[in-house]
Amino acid sequence: MENKKKGVLLDQEIPMILPIIPTIDVVVFPHMVVPLLILDEKIIKGLEQQQDETRKVLLLAAHQPSDNQSGPISITDLYKIGTVANIMRIMNLPDGGVKVLIQGLVKAQVDEILSDDESLHARVTPINLTDDTFNEKHVEVQIKQLLTLVEKIAASGKIFGPDFQVILSQIQDPERIADFILSHMNLTVEQAQQLLEKRTIHQLLDGIYDYLQHEMELSNVQEKIRSETRDSINKSQREYYLREQIKAIQKELGDEDENEFNEFRRKISDLQLPEEARIEAGKQLKRLEKTSPDSMEATVLRNHLEWLLGMPWGVYTKDNTSINDAKKLLDAHHFGLDEIKERILDFLSVRALKADSDVPILCFAGPAGVGKTSLGKSIADCLGRNYFRIALGGVYDESEIRGHRRTYVGALPGRFIQAVRKSGSMNPVIIIDEIDKIGMSNRGDPSAALLEVLDPEQNHSFYDNYLGVHFDLSKCLFVATANDLSTIQGPLRDRMEIIQLSGYTSDEKLSIAKNHLVTRAMKKTGLEKHSFALADNTLEDLITNYTRESGVRDLERQIQKLCSKFARYYVENKTETIFTKENLPEFLGPRRNASELTHRMNKIGVTNGLAWTPFGGEVLQVEAVLIPGSGRLILTGQLGEVMKESAQAAMSYAKAHAIAFGIDQKIFTDYDLHIHLPAGAIPKDGPSAGITLLSSVLSAMTGRAINADFAMTGELSLHGTVLPIGGLKEKILAAKQNGLKNVIVPRRNANDLIGLDRLQEGLNIILVEEAEEVLNHVLMPH
Ligand SMILES: Nc1ncnc2c1ncn2[C@@H]1O[C@H](COP(=O)(O)OP(=O)(O)OP(=O)(O)O)[C@@H](O)[C@H]1O
Ligand SMILES: [Mg+2]
């Protein structure tokens, strides 16, 4: 039989038509010797015929029935690749069945199944494992790898028995090695069949290797888990004994724990706890008393009790309802902001009349550093209430609001419960800072939880997961702040009364600095007794050349920096110094006003636009240039969809008015127009760049430069009408700060200018209705 594997002789020796023996839970591989019990008459008949002839049969495994129920198997359940086997012995059993001992010879593919009432046969073609792809070197390497792996597995005592390797080491032939290993593996029918169906020796060896590798990894993991559980059992037993010992020692030493328990007990009876909280606290305390004091669980229980009993139950501060005092206080803290202060005083008056009236939540919105957070604090001061600030920037997790579940040691209540505890009263002012920066993630939607907190219908019994009892948040006064209202979800926004703050003009900044920032900075740096002072023109220098912002945060920082420079100078030289425009660069470095100049050069295709951003207004230059091409419009600079449409509208306007502007038609066919908006950090979308884009486009096409003394904002309709825009105050402020004297504004925005007289001082505001007017102003003659 040794020569069979060479494959050449097989075809002659194996008849093309063989009786089938289905095997139910075993796949027989070549070289395997297996006893089979056969009861089916039809099959026994086939066998008996064959006994007298070539003694060969085909073994075909049956699919495992999918519902795991054994029933009669049918022809369709049989796999189409099986093993031709030799009948070694047949033994008739007394009750009619037969027992056969067979040996696998070679794999074979079923070409056709021939079945009638009498018999079950198949026409087969043997499969030769060593075909053209056979590579002796490759097989050698594979065998070597396989043997190494087998050795490893055998060493760990799994899968293979003790004699296995001894026998294996005596086999040379790769196919026999494979079959020998296979016959010792614990394969399911599917796995075995998969390996049986491998067409080449290379694939077969790979398949075996992968399977063994997988098995080994599996058993490693199992072993690891087993040893870990063993360890942890040992450890917890040890801990238990130690804990018992500690308990005994503590008993000897006097009762530390008793003190703690008494303290909790005292609090439970003394505090003005609502019934629910009292019951919960009592329950938790009982559990704590029963728990071993050093266990994890005791820590969790203790922390929870500390939170529960640490809340300012029943503690209320009395409101100061004097509007006069409030007015004084607001004026003392903040310069200007008259309109805003009025709104705050109205708000406080309503509350003074009816403390639990359903006043909306105030939300201060505006650019950075204009005093939103500090106004919130002032409201707390006016009312004489405690104050706590919650920063919501980057809160993505719902449990930051609703609290973590109490199951682990580091769990904490949500931010609002924390705020109330830290503020020390049930009715603090809670500043919800940066409410627009709250995020959403897969860990729930914190803004939905926030809505619940802010809803007067629900917040009198807010349930925090950690605290585990309902808590009354309705006496808190919430004040929110935001930079960008557009990112706040609708329902949340509806719940708030928005108070819009704008940036400050240079004059306002000067007054704020003189009246507030300088004194505050001196206090902070301990310079009250010194003659630190900044002259107006020094402050102006700081404002225009060292800061570039809508608010005064940077300015405040620069002033503080000067205070520390002053202090250092004094400590080093024992005399005081005076800051002047001349020596400022010595202390603060060179002035940073270079960008202003770039707005001032008349260029072809470059227009000063005005943009609104959550951080204030910006001057944004639009550039357009013609390049040889084929009439395409190229847009770069990370523009949004609306901006792209505006560019197209500008292009169409230029085409429609080509003759009036003397534009050569060739420009639309032989050139591409490239429009670019530099300043990568500014979000660029919205329609308000319409007339700016148009100016750049026409400038590029006519070759006439744009007057750089102008800045503009306005949406453009296809027919050349200039439509109104938003954020006018911020935009005008930006133009002013950048030294641009002429500002083109849609006439339909005229109403927005009312009350902005101070802002308009020194500016030439030009109201326009038609695109033509814009171009008349900014397109310079050739
Ligand atoms: N009108 C003002 N008068 C006096 N000080 C002011 C005024 N506006 C702002 N400030 C001061 O400027 C600093 C920054 O203000 P604040 O922190 O309230 O800004 P904000 O609007 O909350 O900014 P952000 O959006 O960056 O949080 C504070 O020290 C504040 O007191
Ligand atoms: Mg703030």
Q: Annotated active-site positions, please?
A: 688, 731
pLDDT at 182: 84
**Mean pLDDT to the nearest integer, 2-26:** 63
Closest ligand (CA of 389): 2
pLDDT at 556: 93
pLDDT at 607: 94
pLDDT at 276: 92
Q: Ligand 1 atom 9: the closest Cα is on which residue?
A: 371
Least confident of 166-170, 284-288, 500-504: 166-170
pLDDT of 99-149, one tens digit each?
888 888 888 999 888 887 777 888 888 888 777 777 888 888 888 888 888
pLDDT exceeds 50 at position 8: no
**Mean pLDDT to the nearest integer, 506-523:** 90
What is the band of 6 on the pLDDT scale with cuts at 50, 70, 90?
Answer: very low
**How many CA atoms, within 13 angstroms, populate the side-chain half-sphere of residue 768?**
28
Spatial separation of the C-alpha atoms in residues 691 and 720, rounded to whole Å? 9
Closest ligand 1 atom, residue 336 Cα? 1
pLDDT exceeds 80 at position 434: yes
pLDDT at 703: 92
pLDDT exceeds 80 at position 475: yes
Q: Ligand 1 atom 27: the closest Cα is on which residue?
A: 368
Closest ligand 1 atom, residue 334 Cα? 3
What is the band of 462 on the pLDDT scale with cuts at 50, 70, 90?
Answer: very high
pLDDT at 174: 86
DSSP notation for 496-553: EEEEE--PPPHHHHHHHIIIIIHHHHHHHTT-TTS-----HHHHHHIIIII---SSSH
What is the band of 681 on the pLDDT scale with cuts at 50, 70, 90?
Answer: low
**Mean pLDDT to the nearest integer, 556-581:** 87
pLDDT at 526: 84
Least confident of 329-338, 494-503, 672-681: 672-681
**Mean pLDDT to the nearest integer, 86-103:** 85
pLDDT exceeds 50 at position 407: yes
Closest ligand 1 atom, residue 370 Cα? 21
Ligand 2 centroid to 503 CA: how many Å? 14
Ligand 2 centroid to 3 CA: how many Å? 89
pLDDT at 307: 92
Characterize the bridge pairing of strands 606-613 and 616-628.
antiparallel
pLDDT at 12: 47
Cβ of 321: how many Cβ atoms within 10 Å? 16
pLDDT of 629-652, one tens digit each?
998 999 888 778 888 899 999 999
What is the band of 596 on the pLDDT scale with cuts at 50, 70, 90?
Answer: low
Least confident of 397-406, 506-515, 675-684: 675-684
pLDDT at 257: 64
What is the band of 605 on the pLDDT scale with cuts at 50, 70, 90?
Answer: very high
Spatial separation of the C-alpha atoms in residues 84 and 50, rounded to whole Å? 13
**Mean pLDDT to the nearest integer, 372-386:** 91
Tokens read off for 526: 């301990």
Chain-centroid distance of CA 756 in Å reads: 42
* E strands in 629-665: 633-636
pLDDT at 89: 85
C-alpha pair distances (Å), 115 with each of 65, 119, 120, 298: 21, 6, 5, 75
C-alpha pair distances (Å), 293 with each of 243, 255, 290, 472: 8, 12, 9, 32
What letter does residue 754 receive in the DSSP assignment?
T
Ligand 1 centroid to 383 CA: how many Å? 20
Q: Ligand 1 atom 24: the closest Cα is on which residue?
A: 368
3-state helix, strand, coil in the chain (%, to 5): 45, 20, 35
Spatial separation of the C-alpha atoms in residues 45 and 708, rounded to whole Å? 106
Asked whether the whole model's pTM tops 0.75, one would answer no
Closest ligand (CA of 369): 1
Is there a contact between 96 and 40 (Cβ–Cβ < 8 Å)? no
Closest ligand 1 atom, residue 517 Cα? 5
Ligand 2 centroid to 479 CA: how many Å? 12
Helix (H) or strand (E) holding 674: strand 671-676
* E strands in 421-466: 429-433, 462-463
What is the band of 73 on the pLDDT scale with cuts at 50, 70, 90?
Answer: low
Give the binding-site residues of ligand 1, using a 6 Å CB cut-off: 334-337, 368-374, 481, 483, 512, 516, 551-553, 556
pLDDT at 544: 82
pLDDT at 576: 83
Q: Ligand 1 atom 25: the closest Cα is on which residue?
A: 368
pLDDT exceeds 60 at position 595: no
pLDDT exceeds 60 at position 594: no
Pocket test for ligand 1, best of 379, 552, 558 (most atoms within 8 A of CB): 552
Spatial separation of the C-alpha atoms in residues 413 and 157, rounded to whole Å? 52
- Indicate if the alpha-carbon torsion angle 638, 643, 646, 648 is positive or negative: positive
Pocket test for ligand 1, best of 331, 374, 517 (most atoms within 8 A of CB): 374
pLDDT at 54: 79
**Mean pLDDT to the nearest integer, 582-587:** 84
Least confident of 93-102, 117-126, 530-539, 591-600: 591-600
pLDDT at 492: 86
Is there a contact between 77 and 37 (Cβ–Cβ < 8 Å)? no
pLDDT at 2: 41
Ligand 2 centroid to 446 CA: how many Å? 20
pLDDT at 702: 93
**Mean pLDDT to the nearest integer, 444-462:** 86
Average pLDDT of the chain to the nearest whole number: 85
